[in-house]
Amino acid sequence: MSSPSKRRDMDVMKLMMSDYMVETTNDGLTEFNVEFHGPKQSPYEGGVWKVRVELPDAYPYKSPSIGFLNKIFHPNVDELSGSICLDVINQSWSPMFDLLNIFEVFLPQLLLYPNPADPLNGDAASLLLKDQQQYEQKVKEYCERYAKREKLEDVSDGSDEDISDDEVTGSDNVDIAGDSAP
C-alpha cells in the first residue's frame, strides 16, 4: 500500500481531474474548496455550494473535515459553521473511501435523505417533520439566496461575510459599518 501522502495526492488529483472545480487554499494539497452541485430531482437542484475540505496528515486512515462555506438549509448541516453530521465521515470512515466518494455519493445522499432525528439544525429538522412541503420551499429559497454560482465568489474561506441580511431581504440600504458585529 502506498504512503498516506501519496494516497492523499492521488485522491486530490483524481478529484481535480473529475468534473469538480477544485480550488486550493494553500500551497499544499491538504486544504481546498470544491464546487458542489445539488442533486437533480431534489429541492437542492440548481444550488451550487463551495465545500471546504481539510485532509489530516493521517488521511486516508483518518477522515477529512468537510463543511459547506455558503449557507444551506438542512437538518444535518450546521447553518452557522457549515459542519455536517454524516456517520460515514464522522464515525465509520474507512481508507477504502476516497474524495470522489464524498462528492459523488455521500454528500448527494445526505441532501436527498436528511435525518431529522440527528439534527445539527433544529429548525430545519423541525420544519421537515412538521411540513415537508414548507421545508422544501425553504430549501429552494436558500438555494436561490445563497447557492448560486455568481454568489460563490462572495464566499470566503471561514468567513461569515458571504451575504448580508440586507441582501437576503432585498434592501438597498446596506449598513457596511454594522456588518462587523458578531
User: What would the pLDDT profile of 74-101 be if each residue is shown by its tens digit?
Assistant: 999 999 999 999 888 989 999 999 999 9
Active site residue 85: yes
- Least confident among 3-7, 19-23, 175-179: 175-179
Tell me: pLDDT of 172 over 70.
Answer: no
Q: Which of 51, 66, 85, 110 is catalytic?
A: 85
Of the candidate ranges 72-76, 116-120, 157-161, 168-172, the one whose mean pLDDT is the lowest: 168-172
List the one residue out of 9, 18, 10, 11 whose CA is nearest residue 36.
Answer: 18
Examine the pLDDT at 1 and tell me if it is beyond 60.
Answer: no
